[in-house]
């Protein structure tokens, strides 16, 4: 039999703008373009540029790099970004995605204390998904832990596969913090898995977001499984580079993450020559 050839799948590899923090959203576009990423995911947070559709469009045009996804402002530090009302935040995220040509809005499940939002969340996400071609991909989270105490901060559940959503995002740093099996989780998500946040972790109480390959998560195996299954979403590098001692070190980490991802996506699918 002839030597197999490698077929590279269609999944695009994007850089989350959160991956360059504490540098700016604008810097993320510059780095993504220079390193050869296929696009960016915009984390909407306190950086004013991340909230400004016209500014984001100019960055995308200037660097010739598309915006593939918008991460809605769901973090504790973004409670006042794009309104204090969570549904308004999601409506604005959808509008931004539509105007910028992004295919996906990433959203976290509510905090448990957002009681009305929790009550309506599953049905509300379905309703919003039915009103647009943009995917609302709900992301797995994790219990909050301090020493020997555990707090369930997210509802209906941090494990989003326990509820019915049209699309899911899997985050491998979050599976590490939750100490759950990432491969079993994507099996439960099935063909509703629409988006991937690729990072690594060691099971710490903290959400580590390590460069893929530096922790215990099955990053390579997950990428290979996605490629074999014909995954048609985006793989987004969402890592923590805050400890980088220089811009050059940060860029090296992001280059390593991109190379790791492309290697394991490409190596997974082999078809023999005829």
At residue 10, the pLDDT reads 75
Q: Say how many C-beta atoms besides its own lie within 10 A of residue 162's C-beta.
A: 9
Find the mean pLDDT for residues 230-250: 94
* Residue 62 predicted with pLDDT over 50: yes
pLDDT band of residue 26 (cuts 50, 70, 90) is very high
Provide the pLDDT for residue 272.
56
Query: Is the model more confident about 269 or about 180?
Result: 180
How does the average pLDDT of the chain come out, rounded?
A: 93
Tokens 């326990």: give the residue. Answer: 162
Residue 49 clears pLDDT 90, i.e. is over it: yes
For the CA atoms of 113, 117, 123, 126, the dihedral, rounded to the nearest 10 degrees, stands at -110
Per the model's pLDDT, the better-predicted residue between 148 and 229 turns out to be: 229
Interval 90-95 mean pLDDT? 98
Q: Going by C-beta distance under 8 Å and a sequence separation of 6 or more, which residues neighbour residue 270?
A: 4, 5, 6, 7
Give the bridge partners for 236, in sequence order.
14, 197
Angstrom CA distances, 106 to 179, 237, 242, 251, stand at 22, 14, 22, 24
Which pLDDT value is given to residue 2?
47
Whether the pLDDT of residue 235 is over 80: the answer is yes
* pTM, full prediction: 0.93
Contact 3, 225 (CB under 8 A): no
pLDDT of residue 6: 57
Which residues have C-beta within 8 Å of that of residue 59, sequence separation ≥ 6? 25, 26, 29, 49
Average pLDDT over residues 243-268: 93
Please state, for a pLDDT cut of 70, what percent of the chain lies above it. 94
Higher pLDDT, 136 or 7: 136
The pLDDT of residue 268 is above 70: no
HSE, side-chain direction, 13 A CA sphere, residue 260: 22
- Please give the Cα distance from 147 to 163 (Å, whole number): 29
């Amino acid at each position: 039999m002839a030597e197999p050839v490698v077929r590279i799948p269609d999944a695009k590899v994007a850089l989350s703008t959160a991956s360059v923090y504490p540098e700016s959203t604008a810097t993320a576009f510059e780095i993504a373009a220079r390193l050869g990423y296929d696009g960016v995911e915009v984390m909407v947070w306190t950086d004013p540029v991340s909230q400004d559709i016209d500014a984001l469009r100019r960055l995308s045009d200037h660097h010739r790099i598309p915006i593939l996804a918008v991460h809605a402002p769901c973090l504790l530090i973004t409670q006042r970004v794009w309104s204090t009302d969570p549904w308004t935040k999601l409506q604005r995220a959808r509008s931004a995605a539509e105007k910028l040509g992004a295919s996906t809005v990433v959203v976290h499940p509510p905090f448990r204390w957002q009681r009305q939002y929790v009550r309506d969340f599953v049905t509300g996400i379905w309703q919003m998904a039915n009103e647009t071609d943009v995917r609302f991909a709900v992301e797995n989270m994790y219990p909050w832990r301090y020493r020997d105490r555990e707090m369930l901060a997210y509802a209906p559940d941090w494990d989003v596969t326990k509820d019915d959503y049209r699309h899911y995002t899997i985050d491998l740093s979050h599976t590490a913090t939750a100490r759950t099996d990432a491969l079993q989780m994507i099996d439960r998500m099935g063909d509703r898995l629409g988006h991937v946040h690729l990072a690594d972790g060691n099971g710490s109480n903290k959400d580590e977001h390590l460069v893929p390959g530096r922790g215990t998560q099955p990053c390579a195996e997950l990428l290979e499984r996605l490629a074999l299954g014909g995954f048609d979403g985006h793989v987004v590098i969402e890592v923590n580079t805050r400890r980088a001692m220089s811009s050059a070190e940060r860029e090296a980490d992001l280059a390593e993450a991109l190379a790791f991802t492309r290697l394991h996506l490409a190596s997974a699918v082999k078809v023999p020559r005829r």
